[in-house]
Amino acid sequence: MYKYLGKIGAFLYVAAIVAVSVIFTVRDANRNYKKEVTIEAGSKIRIEDFFNNCPDDARFVTDVSSIDTNIPAVYQLRIFYDEAFEKDVILRIEDHTGPKGVALPKSLYSSWKMPDAADCVGYLYDLSGIAKIEFKNGAPSFSESGTFNVPVAVTDVYGNETVIDVPFTVIYDVDAPVIRGVMNIESNGDPNIVDYFGGVWVFDDTDEEPIITVDDSKVDYEQEGEYEIIYRAVDKAGNTSTVKAKLTVRFPVEEETATGNSFSDIDYEDQSIYSARGKDAYGLAAGVMAGLWRGNDVETARAIFNWCHSHIYYQVINGRQTYEGAAYRGFTKHSGDCYVYYSCAKMLLDCAGIPNMMVRRSPVTRNGHYWHLVYLNGEWWHCDSTVFRNHPGVYFMLTDDQIRDSNHQFDGSLYPMRAGGSTEYKPSDTPTPTIDPNATPTPDPNATTAPVPTVPVTPSPSGNATVTPSPSDAKDSPTPAPENTNTDTPTPTEAQATPSDTPTPPPQETDVTETTSGEG
């Protein structure tokens, strides 16, 4: 009997040891795995992250191949390990990494309008997308020349911020250009053969090429008399100086010719029509165009519209104008109305071989207006170099919606389909530009501009950072765990039409009236 009791005791002892061993094994297994794991957005999902010491047979029961780790979210998964255990675990994908980008150095005058913060950084990248770009310490202002680092904060939709220092090279200039050599002049009534700039020169201490224009709006070329003209010089900082002179209109005395005709009898054109009168407007355009070639049509067209915008001063023109006469005036006097801006830009676009066509304001009110459709990158874009008081920049490569304001109403059915979509349009072939046979031949530029990568992002309207993935066909597809993560999510700013890298301020003029014979 004692022998039998001894066997029972031995069995119970072994059983107790086994039970304790199982208890410790279960306890250790429970201690070894992690109930919740957080990984950075864009990282891989690894089974070893769910254990302190990962067992050799550990694996996911849930199919994790359908999870997009670029999108922050919360998932419930099931894991298997140690030949016997299955556990439910939580996977959190969070974004704590700020955006990446580079500084775009700026060179400007202290009097210029400061560029937008978004124009000061480029090559931006973030998995969740860019929400806002702003100057860290507010828009900068400068009271002296020098080079300054301006911090720009770039924030993604989850609030992660990266600060990029942007070098600003600033020229502080308050001195206006100096005009020399201005003298009183005479005219025989033809405004296009007066030598306004003979012996006149302009100097500026910081700007090597200040712009000088002549305002002859007070002159009536059809009436003899003495009139005031104004020479105006503007440097890149916007500093302006003026010098007044007198222009005397005196018609030549009529003399009888061998045929009995007078000079007035052989005047082939109406005096009220300003024309080039034999002057080579296309030759002038080719000379200007020589300095405007860029790496591709888009950059060349932008240079053309920048030149017209910054080199022509808005002035009311009385009387009708021919196309060549308007362009000749713009290239020589650097002043004129919207038709002068249009004519100069068209002549330069034609010299560059870039297709373009006229757009006219419709319905025509007291003031007409002209601008261009320009064929770039396979589509028609609105472009306008005219200086407007409430719009100091250049209208360049805009869609119907972007340009349609009080100055740019038009009948879309008269023109071909425009970039961005057109509700009304007239199908037509791409026109062939009119090229002067004597103009400088078009070069064959090879350079191209590297595109700036962007990451489109549409944040959750509710601001909830948890994303629900698409259902999977797998039996154990991951299901995001419910979680209240309402946070203030910054809203991405809409893309704006960007100005030119080196803006040139228009002449600082007050009370500029946009009227000229009912045009422009």
pLDDT in tens, 26-49: 555 677 889 999 999 989 999 999
pLDDT in tens, 432-481: 555 554 544 444 444 433 333 333 333 333 333 333 333 334 444 454 54
- Tell me the pLDDT of the chain averaged across its residues: 77
Predicted confidence band of residue 144 (pLDDT cuts 50, 70, 90): very high
Q: Of 207-216, 287-296, 338-347, 467-476, give the lowest mean pLDDT range.
A: 467-476
Alpha carbon distance 216, 213 (integer Å): 10
Rounded to an integer, what is the distance from CA 473 to the centroid of its chain?
Answer: 44
* Residues 129 and 161: beta-carbon distance below 8 Å: no
- Say which CATH class 100-171 falls into: mainly beta
CATH number for the 176-268 domain, one of 2.60.40.10, 3.40.50.720, 2.20.140.10, 1.10.10.10? 2.60.40.10
Residues 6+ apart with CB under 8 A from 178: 202, 203, 204, 233, 241
Domain boundaries, the chain: 1-32, 34-94+458-484, 100-171, 176-268, 274-449
Alpha carbon distance 166, 105 (integer Å): 6
pLDDT in tens, 413-430: 999 999 999 888 887 655
Amino acid at position 325, single letter: G
* 340: Cα within 13 Å, side-chain hemisphere: 33
Q: Which residue has the higher pLDDT, 434 or 408?
A: 408
- pLDDT score for 115: 92
Does residue 360 carry a pLDDT above 60?
yes
How many beta carbons lie within 10 A of that of residue 517, not counting itself?
A: 16
CA-nearest of 85, 84, 80, 96 to 42 is 96
Alpha carbon distance 369, 358 (integer Å): 10
Distances (CA, A) of 451 to 19, 124, 134, 383, 503: 68, 12, 22, 21, 21
Beta bridge partners, 110, equal none
Q: Of 163-167, 249-253, 349-353, 369-373, give the lowest mean pLDDT range.
A: 249-253
Same fold across 176-268 and 274-449: no
Q: Of 30-34, 94-98, 100-104, 145-149, give the lowest mean pLDDT range.
A: 30-34
- pLDDT score for 351: 95
* Residues 333 and 196: beta-carbon distance below 8 Å: yes
* Residues 295 and 447: beta-carbon distance below 8 Å: yes
Q: Of 15-24, 389-398, 401-410, give the lowest mean pLDDT range.
A: 15-24
Q: What is the pTM of this model?
A: 0.45
How many beta carbons lie within 10 A of that of residue 18, not counting itself?
A: 10
Does residue 496 carry a pLDDT above 50?
no
The torsion angles phi and psi of 373, rounded to 5 degrees, stand at: -105, 130
Question: If 0-12 CB within 10 Å is exposed, 13-18 middle and 19+ buried, where does residue 105 land?
Answer: exposed
Alpha carbon distance 373, 183 (integer Å): 41
- pLDDT score for 493: 37
How many beta carbons lie within 10 A of that of residue 274, not counting itself?
A: 24
Question: What fold characterizes domain 274-449?
Answer: C8orf32 fold (3.10.620)
- pLDDT score for 503: 36
Question: What fold characterizes domain 34-94+458-484?
Answer: Immunoglobulin-like (2.60.40)
Pairing of strands 85-94, 36-40: parallel
Instruction: Kindly state the percentage of the chain with pLDDT values over 70.
Output: 69
